[in-house]
């Protein structure tokens, strides 16, 4: 190639920044010298533009294009070298600019279309779609769509501009559906004392949406916990404080079950060993349980050994005691009992048919000493006469006078007035009452000198009412003697050995403190779940799945043979107690939760929120959606 | 005057160092914000937006060559380093390599294609100029049609002259049947992209196959035609490589424009619905 080919007088100056290039060149022909005009028309239809000088047209072809031509311009000043026009083409620069415009226009068109179209129609191509919601939120936002959380959604441009300059406050929308056991925007939903300088929280600090149905909105990591907690540590293994010394047995069990005596003594006894469970899961339900492994029902766990014992322990409502002299008005008795005239003879010398003391229940109700016949003689006989006249009415009145709310209906449920009256008539005549038949099933009955109640079985409502009555009256007596009698009655009824039904052998009695009505004693009739650590998350099921059902429990729950478990129940303090099991320490968990084994993140064992729940409206929506699901 | 070929190695490493440093600082900052329950996407998002704006300015800079805003080669180097930085920041911003949601996915696809076209462009910009220099020919891209037309005219005049002088039409017939198409316009575009020797073999083959049918005089003309065919082959090579050097931007810049449009839309949505 020639060295001077690109010299200023040898070649044309190329200007690729111009919008058009020669159409001939685009067809691989020799391009013209002039090139296209700026407006895109061909500029090369003639070789040059002749110049009029001294009335003579001169050729103006430049030297680099061969200099003036031989023929020169025509007489009219037209160039002698004429060509048909070409069709100039756009340069790359212009094409590039058009492509940029096209690309941006497509994007703008997409945005415009998605804004104009109804979200339900344009949902699939919505250019505002930030991503699919989590499975839990997707269902609840079906009705209102994005506006459920985003206030500006579906509003006009003015609202959008306003939204840019105002706080969208997404968290305030969260609490339209979610509720907590404490303030929503305080750390851990806890009411902390003002001296603890803890700032307000926002849901979006931890929760992120639009990550798809498969992703949890609760994916957090330990460092986020450390951002607030003063005691910073990286994992359970490194820096986590030792568990509380009582962990996890903070409160006394509601059901007294001495694992030590049962496992080591009773279950090994050949007489009952065939009824003993094979392992822990014989009594504890592990299916679908999370933090707490509840025991199965009484019928499954206890009835085989203890059911017969309940029925043996009866309540004595009234016992005809040893009387000093007959103080019952004969005429009244004859009239009340409908004895035939003359059939009832007056005894010459009164000799009491009974040599017993009054029952503690009736001693309390009548407020009489059970060991002084001189004092109780009259009240007892008055009661007997009243029974002969009105059957159970005097008892009901006595009972109802002891408490603020009448309890006689529950306490005397099933008491046969006819039988009661007959017994009273016999006792009025200083005779024993002979029961027509032996009592085989539960219920009230009268035999010889006593009115007794035989429990029908576990959870007998009359027995439960008598225990509650005994507890209620034992604390509200002002008179010293009566208080002593109430406590004597209570102790007898609550006695694990002799009390009616022997309920207290298994059911704990605890003192319940109430600032309004004062403290009182209450029987734990049902198994009570432990909710004293609301921020601890533990799933027994997951652990048992890994460790297996046989022997898995004893990995963590180690029986403490040294402690006297039952001694804790002699008092009524539910906190001051010792568990059957050794306390669980951090080391126990670290058998598996160590760096080389299982996850150690805070969220593995701890919940952030306090009693997270849904608001009522949401539960209705949920219920409706469940009912409409085919 | 010393003509600088490519980038200074020291400058490259300095820019790479600062790019890496910026990324690491952003990464640590992101982690720290996440740890303190903040929204890190705001921080790294704004940095990413700044980088994208800077990348876009390169195009504007090329339109304003008269302004004293550092040399184009320095801008190009910064553009390359910031381009890679933007890619890493993009992954940091979206917390992975793929977005959820339609508009996020549109941005992701556009961003990836723009990035890939940029990497391909970088390869083209760094490799092809050396190959063009090695070809031994220099030609301005816009003049290639004229060069080809000139060669074609020269070849055709040689053929006519040969026919007139020798009275033989062998060379002319061969030209009309085979070589005429070759001289019509640039050929072997795909082969030239991959540096294939096929065009060279083809030209030699087409000339050699005729040699034994020609007399001494005709062979002289054939040698001249062969020399012109070789020259045209080199121009074809220039045409292919220069076309790629210019047209990769037809993909990169429009897509970059679309990315910026989507990014601005993303910013609007965030400001309206989230902040």
Mean pLDDT of chain A: 83
DSSP A447-492: EBTEEEEE--STT-HHHHHHHHHHHHHHHS--SHHHHHHHHHHHHH
pLDDT at A617: 67
pLDDT at A272: 82
For residues B147 and A6, is the Cβ–Cβ distance under 8 A? no
Report which of residues A19 and A388 the model is more confident about: A19
Q: Which residues of A touch B265 (CB under 8 A)?
A: 107, 111, 127
SS3 A499: coil
Q: Alpha-carbon distance B235 to A419, whole Å?
A: 129
Distance from CA of A630 to the nearest CA of B (A): 29
Distance from CA of B196 to the nearest CA of A (A): 24
B262 lies within 8 A of chain A by CB: yes
Q: Which residue of A has its CA nearest to B262?
A: A107
Q: Alpha-carbon distance A240 to A236, whole Å?
A: 5
Distance from CA of B157 to the nearest CA of A (A): 15
Residue-wise pLDDT for A607-624, tens only, equals: 888 888 888 766 665 556
pLDDT at A219: 63
Under an 8 A CB cutoff, do A128 and B150 touch?
no
Instruction: Read off the pLDDT of each residue in A318-324 and give the average, rounded to a whole number.
Output: 86
A219 lies within 8 A of chain B by CB: no
**How does residue A404 score in pLDDT terms, banded at 50, 70 and 90?**
confident
Q: Alpha-carbon distance A429 to A432, whole Å?
A: 9
Residue A344 pLDDT exceeds 70: no
Under an 8 A CB cutoff, do A127 and B271 touch?
no
Q: Which residues of A touch B100 (CB under 8 A)?
A: 130-132, 210-212
pLDDT at B57: 93
Under an 8 A CB cutoff, do B271 and A164 touch?
yes
Partner-chain residue, chosen from A1, A31, A95, that has the shortest CB–CB distance to B250 = A95
For residues A505 and A256, is the Cβ–Cβ distance under 8 A? yes
pLDDT at B226: 95
B258 lies within 8 A of chain A by CB: yes
Q: Which residues of A touch B141 (CB under 8 A)?
A: 16
Under an 8 A CB cutoff, do B103 and A31 touch?
no
Degrees (nearest 5) of the Cα angle A582, A266, A274? 120
pLDDT at A630: 47
pLDDT at A270: 87
Q: Which residue of B has its CA nearest to A170?
A: B274
Under an 8 A CB cutoff, do B145 and A29 touch?
yes
Q: What is the pTM of this model?
A: 0.69
Partner-chain residue, chosen from A11, A125, A227, that has the shortest CB–CB distance to B102 = A125
Q: Alpha-carbon distance B146 to A230, whole Å?
A: 79
**Per mean pLDDT, which range of A44-58, A283-297, B90-104, B188-202 is the poorest?**
A283-297
Chain A interface mutation, best of B63, B102, B137, highest count of A Cβ atoms under 10 Å: B102
Distance from CA of A94 to the nearest CA of B (A): 10
Residue A595 pLDDT exceeds 80: no
- The domain segmentation of chain B, as residue ranges, is 9-136+249-273, 141-242
Under an 8 A CB cutoff, do A152 and B262 touch?
no
Under an 8 A CB cutoff, do A104 and B102 touch?
no
Q: Alpha-carbon distance A597 to A590, whole Å?
A: 9
pLDDT at A1: 46
Distance from CA of A516 to the nearest CA of B (A): 42
Distance from CA of B260 to the nearest CA of A (A): 9
A272 lies within 8 A of chain B by CB: no
Instruction: Read off the pLDDT of each residue in A341-368 and give the average, rounded to a whole number.
Output: 79
What percentage of chain A reaches a pLDDT higher than 90?
9
Under an 8 A CB cutoff, do B250 and A130 touch?
no
A25 lies within 8 A of chain B by CB: yes
Q: Alpha-carbon distance A384 to A451, whole Å?
A: 12
Strands A613-614 and A178-179: antiparallel
Under an 8 A CB cutoff, do A126 and B102 touch?
yes
CA A171 to chain centre: 21
Residue-wise pLDDT for B131-163, tens only, equals: 999 988 889 998 899 999 999 999 999 999 999
Residue B128 pLDDT exceeds 70: yes
Distance from CA of A476 to the nearest CA of B (A): 55
Distance from CA of A214 to the nearest CA of B (A): 12
For residues A475 and A462, is the Cβ–Cβ distance under 8 A? no
How many interchain CB pairs under 8 A, A with B? 133
Residue-wise pLDDT for A437-489, tens only, equals: 777 788 888 888 888 899 988 888 999 999 988 888 888 788 888 888 888 88
Q: Alpha-carbon distance A17 to A246, whole Å?
A: 84
A435 lies within 8 A of chain B by CB: no
Q: Which residues of A touch B64 (CB under 8 A)?
A: none
**How does residue B2 score in pLDDT terms, banded at 50, 70 and 90?**
very low
What percentage of chain A reaches a pLDDT higher than 70?
91
First to last CA, chain A: 84
Of A231, A72, A118, A105, the C-alpha closest to A602 is: A231
**How does residue A33 score in pLDDT terms, banded at 50, 70 and 90?**
confident
For residues A280 and A544, is the Cβ–Cβ distance under 8 A? no
**How does residue B34 score in pLDDT terms, banded at 50, 70 and 90?**
confident
- The domain segmentation of chain A, as residue ranges, is 1-90, 130-220+609-630, 246-297+506-584, 309-502
Residue A121 pLDDT exceeds 80: no
**Interfacial B residues in 82-121 facing A (CB < 8 Å):** 99-104, 106
Instruction: Read off the pLDDT of each residue in A127-152 and give the average, rounded to a whole number.
Output: 82
**Per mean pLDDT, which range of A79-88, A419-428, B40-49, B124-133 is the poorest?**
A419-428
Q: Which residues of B touch A204 (CB under 8 A)?
A: 39
* Number of other CB atoms surrounding residue A124 within 10 Å: 9
Q: Which residues of A touch B261 (CB under 8 A)?
A: 103-104, 107-108
Residue A349 pLDDT exceeds 60: yes
Partner-chain residue, chosen from A107, A125, A131, that has the shortest CB–CB distance to B104 = A131
Q: Which residues of B touch A164 (CB under 8 A)?
A: 268, 271-272, 275
Under an 8 A CB cutoff, do A107 and B35 touch?
no
Q: Which residues of A touch B151 (CB under 8 A)?
A: none
**Per mean pLDDT, which range of A338-352, A448-462, A553-567, B15-29 is the poorest?**
A338-352
Q: Which residues of B touch A16 (CB under 8 A)?
A: 141-142
Partner-chain residue, chosen from A103, A128, A146, that has the shortest CB–CB distance to B254 = A103
Provide the b/e sequence for A434-469 (b: ≥16 CB within 10 Å).
eeeeeeeebbbbbebbbbbbbbbbbebebbbbbbbb
For residues A449 and A432, is the Cβ–Cβ distance under 8 A? yes
Report which of residues B40 and A281 the model is more confident about: B40
A205 lies within 8 A of chain B by CB: yes
Distance from CA of A150 to the nearest CA of B (A): 6
For residues A1 and B138, is the Cβ–Cβ distance under 8 A? yes
Distance from CA of B147 to the nearest CA of A (A): 8
B60 lies within 8 A of chain A by CB: no
Under an 8 A CB cutoff, do A1 and B257 touch?
no
B133 lies within 8 A of chain A by CB: no
Secondary structure of chain A: what % helix, strand, coil (to 5)?
A: 35, 10, 55
Under an 8 A CB cutoff, do B100 and A132 touch?
yes
Q: Alpha-carbon distance B236 to B257, whole Å?
A: 32
CA B196 to chain centre: 18
Under an 8 A CB cutoff, do A107 and B101 touch?
no
Report phi then psi at B264, rounded to 5: -65, -40
Of B206, B198, B212, B210, the C-alpha closest to B229 is: B206
Of the CA atoms within 13 Å of residue A207, those in its CB half-sphere come to 14
Dihedral, CA atoms, B174, B175, B176, B178, nearest 10 degrees? Answer: 80
pLDDT at B3: 46
Q: Alpha-carbon distance A253 to A77, whole Å?
A: 120
Q: Which residues of B touch A210 (CB under 8 A)?
A: 100-101
For residues A482 and A368, is the Cβ–Cβ distance under 8 A? no
Residue A432 pLDDT exceeds 80: yes
Q: Alpha-carbon distance A265 to A256, whole Å?
A: 16
Instruction: Read off the pLDDT of each residue in A534-563 and give the average, rounded to a whole number.
Output: 81
Under an 8 A CB cutoff, do A111 and B265 touch?
yes
Instruction: Read off the pLDDT of each residue in A338-350 and give the average, rounded to a whole number.
Output: 69
């Amino acid at each position: 190639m020639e060295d001077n080919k690109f010299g200023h007088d040898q070649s044309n100056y190329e200007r690729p920044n111009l919008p058009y290039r020669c159409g001939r060149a685009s067809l691989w022909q020799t391009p013209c010298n002039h090139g296209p005009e700026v407006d895109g028309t061909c500029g090369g239809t003639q070789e040059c533009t002749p110049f009029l000088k001294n009335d003579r047209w001169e050729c103006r072809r430049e030297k680099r294009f061969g200099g003036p031509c031989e023929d020169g311009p025509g007489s009219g000043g037209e160039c002698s070298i004429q060509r048909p026009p070409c069709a100039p083409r756009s340069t790359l620069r212009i094409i590039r600019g058009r492509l940029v415009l096209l690309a941006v226009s497509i994007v703008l068109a997409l945005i415009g279309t998605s804004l104009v179209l109804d979200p339900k129609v344009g949902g699939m191509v919505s250019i505002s779609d930030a991503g699919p919601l989590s499975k839990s939120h997707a269902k609840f936002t079906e009705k209102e769509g994005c506006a459920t959380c985003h206030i500006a959604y579906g509003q006009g441009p003015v609202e959008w501009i306003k939204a840019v300059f105002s706080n969208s406050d997404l968290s305030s929308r969260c609490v339209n559906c979610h509720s907590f056991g404490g303030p929503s925007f305080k750390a851990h939903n806890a009411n902390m004392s003002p001296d603890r300088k803890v700032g307000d929280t926002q849901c979006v600090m931890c929760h992120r949406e639009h990550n798809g149905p498969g992703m949890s909105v609760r994916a957090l990591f330990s460092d986020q916990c450390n951002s607030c907690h003063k005691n910073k540590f990286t994992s359970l293994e490194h820096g986590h404080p030792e568990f509380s010394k009582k962990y996890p047995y903070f409160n006394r069990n509601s059901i007294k079950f001495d694992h030590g005596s049962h496992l080591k003594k009773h279950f090994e006894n050949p007489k009952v060993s065939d009824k003993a469970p094979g392992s822990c899961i014989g009594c504890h339900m592990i299916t679908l349980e999370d933090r707490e492994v509840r025991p199965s029902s009484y019928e499954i766990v206890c009835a085989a050994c203890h059911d017969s014992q309940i029925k043996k322990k009866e309540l004595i409502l009234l016992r005809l005691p040893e009387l000093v002299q007959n103080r019952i008005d004969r005429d009244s008795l004859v009239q009340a009992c409908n004895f035939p005239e003359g059939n009832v003879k007056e005894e010459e010398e009164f000799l009491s048919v009974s040599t017993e003391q009054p029952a503690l229940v009736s001693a309390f109700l009548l407020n009489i000493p059970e060991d002084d016949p001189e004092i109780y003689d009259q009240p007892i006989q008055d009661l007997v006469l009243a029974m002969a006249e009105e059957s159970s009415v005097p008892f009901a009145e006595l009972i109802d006078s002891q408490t603020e709310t009448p309890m006689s209906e529950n306490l005397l449920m099933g008491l046969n007035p006819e039988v009661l009256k007959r017994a009273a008539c016999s006792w009025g005549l200083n005779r024993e009452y002979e029961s027509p038949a032996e009592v085989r099933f539960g219920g009230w009955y009268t035999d010889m000198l006593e009115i007794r109640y035989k429990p029908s079985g576990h959870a007998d409502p009359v027995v439960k009412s008598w225990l509650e009555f005994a507890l209620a009256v034992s604390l509200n007596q002002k008179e010293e003697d009566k208080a002593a009698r109430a406590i004597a009655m209570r102790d007898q009824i609550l006695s694990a050995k002799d009390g009616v039904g022997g309920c207290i052998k298994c059911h704990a009695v605890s003192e319940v403190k109430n600032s309004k009505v004062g403290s009182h004693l209450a029987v734990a009739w049902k198994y009570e779940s432990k909710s004293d650590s609301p921020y601890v998350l533990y799933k027994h099921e997951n652990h048992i799945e890994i460790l297996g059902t046989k022997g898995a429990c004893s990995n963590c729950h180690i029986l403490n043979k040294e402690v006297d478990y039952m001694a804790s129940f002699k008092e009524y303090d539910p906190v001051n107690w010792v568990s059957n099991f050794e306390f669980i320490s951090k080391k126990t968990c670290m058998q598996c939760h160590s760096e080389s084994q299982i996850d150690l993140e805070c969220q593995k064992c701890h919940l952030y929120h306090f009693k997270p729940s849904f608001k009522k409206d949401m539960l209705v929506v949920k219920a409706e959606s469940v009912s409409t699901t085919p | 005057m010393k003509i600088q070929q490519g980038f200074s190695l020291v400058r490259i490493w300095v820019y790479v160092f600062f790019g890496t440093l910026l990324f690491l600082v952003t990464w640590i900052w992101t982690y720290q914000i996440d740890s303190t329950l903040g929204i890190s996407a705001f921080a790294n998002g704004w940095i990413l937006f700044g980088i994208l704006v800077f990348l876009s300015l390169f195009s504007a800079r090329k339109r304003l060559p008269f302004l004293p805003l550092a040399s184009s080669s320095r801008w190009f180097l910064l553009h390359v380093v910031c381009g890679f930085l933007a890619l890493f920041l993009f992954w940091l911003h979206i917390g992975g390599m793929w977005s959820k949601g339609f508009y996020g996915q549109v941005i992701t696809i556009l961003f990836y294609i723009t990035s890939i076209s940029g990497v391909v462009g970088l390869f083209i910009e760094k490799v092809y100029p050396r190959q063009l220099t090695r070809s031994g020919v220099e030609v301005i891209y816009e003049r290639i049609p004229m060069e080809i037309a000139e060669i074609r005219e020269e070849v055709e005049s040689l053929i006519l002259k040969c026919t007139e002088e020798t009275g033989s039409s062998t060379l002319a017939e061969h030209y009309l049947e085979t070589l005429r198409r070759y001289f019509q316009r640039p050929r072997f575009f795909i082969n030239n992209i991959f540096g294939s020797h096929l065009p060279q073999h083809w030209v030699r083959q087409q000339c050699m196959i005729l040699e034994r049918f020609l007399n001494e005089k005709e062979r002289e003309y054939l040698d001249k035609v062969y020399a012109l065919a070789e020259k045209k082959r080199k121009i074809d090579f220039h045409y292919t490589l220069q076309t790629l050097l210019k047209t990769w931007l037809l993909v990169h810049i429009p897509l970059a424009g679309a990315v910026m449009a989507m990014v601005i839309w993303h910013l609007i949505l965030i400001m309206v619905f989230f902040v």
